[in-house]
Amino acid sequence: MTANFTDWDVDLPNDPEEDYQAFIRGLRRREGFGLFFVECSPAEGERLIQKVKQDIPKKTIEVLRLTEPIDNLYTIVNDLPNRDKINVLFISGLEHSLYNYELRKLTQGWSSREKYTYSWKGVPPILSHLNQQRERFRDDFNICFVFLIPKFILNYFIHRAPDFFDWRSGFFELPTNPEFSNQRYTQLIEEGDFEKYKNLTPDEQREQFLEIQGLLAEEHLLPDDKVKLLFKLGLILAATEKYEEAIESFDKAIEIELGAPIESCDKAIKIKLFNDAVDLSSIEHNVRSNLGCYGETMIKSYNKAIVIKGEAKGNCVQYNQAIEIKPSDFKGNFVQSYNQAIDYNQAIEIKPDDADTWNNRGNALGNLGRYGKAVASYDKAIEIKPDDADTWNNRGIALGNLGRYGEAVASYEQAIKFKPDDDEAWYNRGIALRNLGRYEEAVASYEQAIKFKPDYYYAWSSRGNALVNLGRYEEAVASYEQAIKFKPDKHEAWNKRGNALLNLRRYEEAIKSYNKAIEIKPDQDQAWNKRGNALLNLRRYEEAIKSYNKAIEIKPDYHKAWYNRGYALGNLGRYEEAVASFDKAIEIQPDDADAWYNRGIALLDLGRYEEAVASFDKAIEIQPDYPYAWLIKLVAMAYRVIKRAGVKI
């Protein structure tokens, strides 16, 4: 993140209270799984947690504070004792899990840009885990997750965990208090020396390292301040005997101070700033020796810096020449990085009344998850050019991402007003209406999109979804079939068609639809499970069990598949196996009254009346009005009494 972002804030001041209220609205409306990201310092994060707890007292809010590096967040969440009662879970401290990755960036021959920005090289294990397990988070946790992340962590999510980050319900930024940052900066600079860092515990050293990384990402940081922080970072690394990494940090500090690449190792050693840093740190003789041993490495590093710096300078010249040749042409592709987003800001400085640039800037901000600022940018574009349908449409998308669906609908309607045949605006309007539960209107909106673009796969598919919400399954099937006609290799449409057919009790057709979905994407655990349900309804229990087994093979903690498997086994009279399957379902989801009840039925059939009564009791405890549970429990109790009396049944 660069200081140019401060310029944006001057153009379009961000209202912290407005952002906070948008965040609160999002949490209030969110039922079940959700992902929110809040960019903030650790101290600001703690204040936010307390404020949210006061403002949303009706939700169960918990905090998971990570103080050590982790590779598996799913297991930690799954093992929380009150997991099933949590509505909102704040997670802080994820930066600890990126510590080793940060060190690796300094030592594995990465380019200067890769070392000091956010490289695509490698993936930190925790982010790889989040990418791979996102479906499990969604399916298994009825929790809205709020990740509290420092500035320097944000780009890791954007670039290294895009699959997970793309599922975000919202992204919010808590502006850092410059006074607090300055105080902490001063404290770190004045108090930090080599001896102090050397005497810290490994955990404390990691904390200092990460805190400095966080300050280095601050937007208002001056070059001189950055130099000092980089030297402190180098001292921490030297204190932990990570000498090569320390040299790399010193290199960067010297480059910034000189405003040019280091030309040779000898020149670097002669720089007073470097010597002052060494003297200030009171580095012992053995540390000096270790640093000296890396002279050859330093020379290679400096030579590489010259090449990289030269390339960067050349790129800057080309960019400036482009502006001189055609200063009004600032339309660009959808951006996916801060650097490109900054280009739009520079364009606006040259030509502030260019609506297209404001629109593209909004797209850039939206792509970075900064939807509130994106809306403000679109508003500016509309102020300049109020009849631009594309901008109204883009504004609606940003509002939808903020959960402000009513406003999004109004924005799409403005787009349609200026461009009545805008199929995308009609489609997006349908999405917003469906999110508002206005299914009839959503169907009508999708139909308008289809009118202008008859082969619009997503409009046909989404129309089917809205029709399912209305219970109009026959029409939904027809809609999914149209979607399949235009994109026959989309497994989602085949799967949804199968679901609609299942609701119509057209089980054979449903099975064929699921078979097609599985043919396209064999690892669809949900399709295997629903296929099993269709077979179950046809009383083809053996086949159903095989289908459930396949779902479980793909997703071992698939609660519904374990439950359905138990039900099928019970119908085959394989009660011991049924009990084991229900036990597994209960292990995954302990508050499933159905699983407890049907477990009791299987135990009753096995003549294990004591256990059956206990199982029915559990079902009733979870759901006091559970149908027939009391009656069947009484039957089990009667059998228990008869058995105790020694009467053969």
> For the chain, what are the domain ranges?
31-175, 179-323, 591-649
d(CA 217, CA 619): 53
d(CA 447, CA 451): 6
Residue 146 β-bridge partners: 36, 90
Length of the chain: 649
d(CA 492, CA 521): 9
Give the model's pLDDT for residue 236: 75
d(CA 506, CA 185): 68
Give the model's pLDDT for residue 518: 96
Structure token digits, residue 578: 């049924």
8 Å CB contact between 41 and 150: yes
Structure token digits, residue 377: 């940018």
8 Å CB contact between 110 and 301: no
**Residue 365 contacts by C-beta under 8 Å, 6 or more apart in sequence?**
341, 371, 373, 374, 377
How far does the chain reach from its first CA to its final CA, in angstroms? 77
3-class SS shares of the chain: helix, strand, coil, % to 5: 70, 5, 25
Quote the radius of gyration of the chain (alpha carbons, Å). 30
**Residue 354 contacts by C-beta under 8 Å, 6 or more apart in sequence?**
328, 330, 347, 348, 384
Identity of residue 308: I
d(CA 471, CA 48): 42
**Which residue in the block uniquely carries the two structure tokens 């309007």?**
429
Whether pTM > 0.85 for this model: the answer is: no
d(CA 594, CA 613): 14
d(CA 568, CA 562): 10
CA distances from 269 to 60, 309, 519, 602, 605 (A): 58, 20, 65, 80, 84
8 Å CB contact between 426 and 449: yes
What are the pLDDT digits (tens) for 498-547? 999 999 999 999 999 999 999 999 999 999 999 999 999 999 999 999 99
d(CA 618, CA 633): 11
**Residue 298 contacts by C-beta under 8 Å, 6 or more apart in sequence?**
247, 251, 265, 268
d(CA 80, CA 88): 13
Q: How many CA atoms does the CB half-sphere of 333 hold within 13 Å?
A: 3
**C-alpha 492 chain-centroid distance:** 22
Q: Which portions of the chain are predicted below pLDDT 50? A: 1-13, 106-121, 180, 260-342, 344, 647, 649
CB 479: neighbour CB atoms within 10 A?
29
3-state secondary structure 229-251: HHHHHHHHHHHCCCHHHHHHHHH
**Fold held by 31-175:** Rossmann fold (3.40.50)
